Structures are given as C-alpha cells and as structure tokens.
Amino acid sequence: MGISPIGTGTAAPGGFVSGGDTGTNIQRKLTELKKQREEFVGAQNKVTDKNALSNKIAALDRRISNLENRLEKLNEQNGECQTCKNRKYQDGSDDPGVSFKTASKVAPEAAASAVRGHEMEHVYRNRAEAAREGREVVSQSVRLKTGICPECGKAYISGGETRTVTKAKNEPDFSAGTETDPKGSLFDTVA
C-alpha cells in the first residue's frame, strides 16, 4: 500500500552533526575543540597531574583528527551525501498498476512529490476498485513518512502509506451521532 526506500543503510550511533550538515557544524565543532586543546596545552605548566592532562589532549587530538577526516570527505563529495544520492524507492504493495514496482532512484529534492504522486495512484485505483465492486469509500488517507539520513543528518521522505476503508452500499452506517443531532453537537470538521 505504499512506497518506501531501500538500501538506505543503518543509522550511525551517536554523532553531533545534524540538520543536513554540509560541513558547517563540523567546522564549528573543530574550532571549539582546537580552542579547548590550546587551553589545555597552555595549562600544562600550571597543573600537577600532567599525565591526566596529556591524556585529555591526546583524546582531543583524536577527535580533531576524526572531524578533519569527515570534513575532508564531505569536501571531496562537494557536500553531496552519497546515501541520499543513491537512495532507491520501491512499492511494497500487491497493486501491479502503480509506479515504482522496481527499485528506482529518486533525487532527494524530488522524493516528496514522487512519493505523493505514487500514493495518489493508490487513492485513485482504490476508488475505482470500490466503484467496480459496488462499494462506497468511507475514508481514505495518505501518510508520508520521514526519516533521518545516517550519513548527512538531513530529513527525507522515507515512504508513504495509503489507507482506504470501504463498505457495501447497503450496509448500515454506524457513524457516531444521529441524524437528529444538530451540527456542532459532535465533532464536525472539514479537512
């Protein structure tokens, strides 16, 4: 009943870089860590436990090195996340007449409209099927799902789901309230 991504990888544990980072957050953190390292190096002559301070400086050096490697990798890719670039979408329903039956790449900026269009195919096909079977559509809803890319931290459309509820045209309607209830006595809304 929907479309979802495949081959998106697994979530990276921890990590402080978020918000669709293109290097800005990494650069900011690098600046903080280098400043902190300079303070520790400057304090080496003022502390009695030089071994503990050396361990802290070594740990900061490792973090700085890791962040510099990540920043270099991002710069090599020109800020382009390979996970997002290579994400594929495939329909998981048993409806043979809709798009994305085979895994297809969709550009990250086009994913929302592609998934929305795909889910609307389900909406129209479910309505047509209900009409052919002499059924009445009671409700239909489309839900777009989101996820966070483990590589770059950007939010993306991870799939969609269409739900359709039908009933036979001669079935009684067990809706809440009665026909004599005035409008507004129950929850009335228009979406």
Q: What is the mean pLDDT of residues 136-163?
A: 90
> pTM of whole model > 0.75?
no
**Share of residues in the chain with pLDDT > 70 (%):** 74
User: Residue 16 pLDDT > 50, yes or no?
Assistant: no
Q: Which of 136 and 187 is assigned the larger pLDDT?
A: 136
What pLDDT, on a 0 to 100 scale, did the predictor assign at position 153? 82
Q: What is the mean pLDDT of residues 78-92?
A: 82
Q: What is the mean pLDDT of residues 124-149?
A: 92
Read off the pLDDT band of 12 (50, 70, 90): very low
What pLDDT, on a 0 to 100 scale, did the predictor assign at position 3? 59
User: Residue 9 pLDDT > 70, yes or no?
Assistant: no
User: Residue 68 pLDDT > 90, yes or no?
Assistant: no
Q: What is the mean pLDDT of residues 41-50?
A: 80
User: Residue 53 pLDDT > 80, yes or no?
Assistant: yes
Q: Which of 68 and 5 is assigned the larger pLDDT?
A: 68
Those residues with Cβ within 8 angstroms of residue 156's Cβ, 6 or more apart along the chain or in another chain = 5, 84, 87, 108, 111, 146, 147, 148, 149
What pLDDT, on a 0 to 100 scale, did the predictor assign at position 151? 80
